[in-house]
Structure 1
């Protein structure tokens, strides 16, 4: 994992230091309270190459065995375009975002409309909305 200076502004774009924002989720001191906050913290985890956090917050039905980070890619900024559900009262939600990067001195971006579910009190990333089968709700919800 690449370390981020605790006092620097968080990668996710919110106006807080990394340590107080996504850093606390990465360390396991807190859980992301909404789908959007989980998505932002996952973006930050990609910025600092935190594979453990990314795998821990990935739904088991779609989780890969490991993550291959592209060392030539540098994440630049995140735009949250739209959210639907995923709040404190929901058990699922979607976040449409655009993540900007530079790879081999060329700018680019990736855009995704992602699905998230609340399972055992924690938000989990399922994957891109267009390519996902439905997930049965967890028992006891």
Structure 2
């Protein structure tokens, strides 16, 4: 009797990395494999943080706010524990035409542990959809910045 492999769940909460965020992360330089929504970009960025994939994080960070220092510390003992998407602003505004269809906001809580102490990051992230020179001008979503509604 053979054992079937159980697919590994996606860190963002999806069923399997291979069918959820994996294609976005693996194909970030392929215009056909870009996350189609700001929420999917946010989920794939969370997954990239759990995988310590700095190349993806930098490629999806808006050039105007992209850090120049390393964003992933290979020696950090951080363990990501889970993601909860609280809202995707455009979903709440479906009946209203957005003022700027190339801007969106996603509120989430990411839980993590550092040195055995559980913590949470509560952020409302801002995303812009703009042409990416690295992809020949194809438009893609970029993470721009975020606000932190609470410190709990």
Separation (CA, whole Å) in 2 of partners of 1:64 and 1:118: 19
Moved over 3 A (4+): none
Listed as ranges, the matches of 1:1-141 within 5 Å are 7-14=7-14, 16-28=15-27, 30-65=33-68, 66-69=70-73, 71-85=76-90, 90-120=101-131, 121-129=139-147
- Distance in 1, matches of 2:90 and 2:144, equals 14
Deviates more, 1:89-98 or 1:52-61: 89-98
After superposition, the C-alpha distances for 1:4-28 in whole angstroms (9 at most, x for unaligned) are xx930000112x2101111111111
Deviation at residue 98 of structure 1 after TM alignment:
0.5
Query: 2:45, 2:57 within 8 Å by CA — same for their partners in 1?
Result: yes
- Over the residues paired in the alignment, what is the CA RMSD in angstroms? 2.1
Quote the residue 1:133 is aligned against: none
CA contact (8 A) 1:85 1:92 kept: no
Q: Give the number of the structure whose alpha-carbon radius of gyration is greater.
A: 2
Q: TM-score if structure 1 supplies the norm length?
A: 0.80
Provide the secondary structure at the position in 2 that maps to 1:85.
Answer: helix
Q: What TM-score, normalized by structure 2, do the two folds share?
A: 0.74
Could you say what secondary structure the match of 1:116 adopts?
Answer: strand
Question: Unaligned stretches of 5+ in structure 1?
Answer: 1-5, 131-141
State the 1:68 CA deviation: 3.3
What's 2:136 paired with? none
- DSSP-derived class of the 1:125 partner: strand
